[in-house]
């Protein structure tokens, strides 16, 4: 029997954890459940910015998953962001350590050519890592936008995303219209040069990115999504399919 692939999973940082109220790593169990259900074994990334250690972590696993959570430091993508909008951006409790840690992970994923699934914050940071900008606050910067902060229905399909025909996501989900959940106030403004948007909501928000077709052959798997498929896998086969494909490719070390 083949060994289940190890998936390195990033975590959020909380100001107060359960034990001693220390600064703590935090990760929704739904991420673990989605990976386990798909046949992988999730391993939480260590809370460090030591490049050598993170590089070794990526080397030892078969795939990497970047998760949702805190806002990204706006200085990384728009140092001149107006104060009115900057006030809506939450600062990470660890002083930007998560941003740096995950930027290193992204660099190592590409250097070592490992499969990557980026979700919500991970989707946004992937764009920032390649010089792209973000919409720091959708309500203020996108006139007529949908309400994308549906935290009250985080595990429900609240709007649809139109998928690009022939895209990886369309092929995985076997549809051109995908129902998604929505719990974010920031978004990718425009995909950075290596990427192309392969899903958008009707207000134009980028709901998924993939590598441009001519670049995709260099990576075994790369998909980033703005929504949270891990919160939908228990009831929606199309969202389960995302994790199944990711884990299946990780299991074969990117050979399918």
Residues serving a catalytic function are 120, 228, 230
Residue that is written with structure tokens 């009831």 in the block: 235
Residue that is written with structure tokens 């490049």 in the block: 51
How do strand 195-201 and strand 159-163 relate by DSSP bridges? antiparallel
Please state, in angstroms and as integers, the Cα–Cα distance from residue 131 to each residue in 192, 203, 208, 221, following that order. 6, 23, 17, 21
HEC letters along 127-194: HHHCCCCEECCHHHHCCCCCCCECHHHCCCCCEEEEECCCCHHHHHHCCCEEEECCECCCEECCCCCC
For 216, the token pair is 């995709």
For 175, the token pair is 């549809």
CA dihedral 29, 30, 35, 39 (to 10 degrees): 90
**CA–CA–CA angle 183, 47, 58 (5° rounding):** 90
HSE value, Cβ hemisphere, 13 Å, CA-based, for 256: 9
């Amino acid at each position: 029997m083949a060994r289940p692939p190890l998936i390195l999973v990033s975590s959020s940082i909380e100001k107060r954890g359960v034990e001693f109220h220390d600064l703590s790593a935090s990760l929704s169990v739904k991420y673990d459940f989605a990976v386990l259900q798909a046949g992988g074994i999730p391993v939480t990334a260590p809370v460090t910015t030591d490049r050598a250690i993170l590089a070794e972590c990526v080397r030892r696993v078969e795939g990497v998953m970047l998760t949702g959570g805190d806002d990204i430091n706006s200085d990384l993508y728009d140092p001149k962001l107006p104060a009115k909008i900057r006030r809506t951006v939450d600062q990470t409790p660890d002083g930007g350590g998560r941003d740096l840690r995950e930027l290193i992970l992204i660099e190592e994923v590409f250097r070592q050519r490992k499969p990557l699934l980026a979700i919500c914050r991970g989707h946004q940071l992937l764009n920032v890592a390649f010089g792209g900008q973000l919409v720091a606050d959708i309500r203020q910067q996108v006139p007529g936008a949908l309400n994308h902060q549906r935290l009250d229905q985080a595990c429900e399909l609240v709007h649809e995303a139109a998928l690009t025909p022939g895209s990886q996501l369309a092929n995985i989900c076997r549809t051109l219209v995908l129902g998604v959940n929505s719990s974010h106030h920031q978004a990718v403004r425009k995909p950075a040069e290596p990427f192309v948007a392969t899903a958008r909501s009707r207000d134009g928000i980028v709901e998924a990115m993939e590598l441009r077709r001519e670049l995709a052959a260099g990576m075994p798997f790369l998909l980033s999504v703005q929504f949270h498929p891990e919160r939908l896998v228990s009831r929606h086969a199309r969202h389960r399919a995302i994790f199944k494909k990711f884990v299946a490719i990780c299991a074969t070390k990117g050979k399918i």
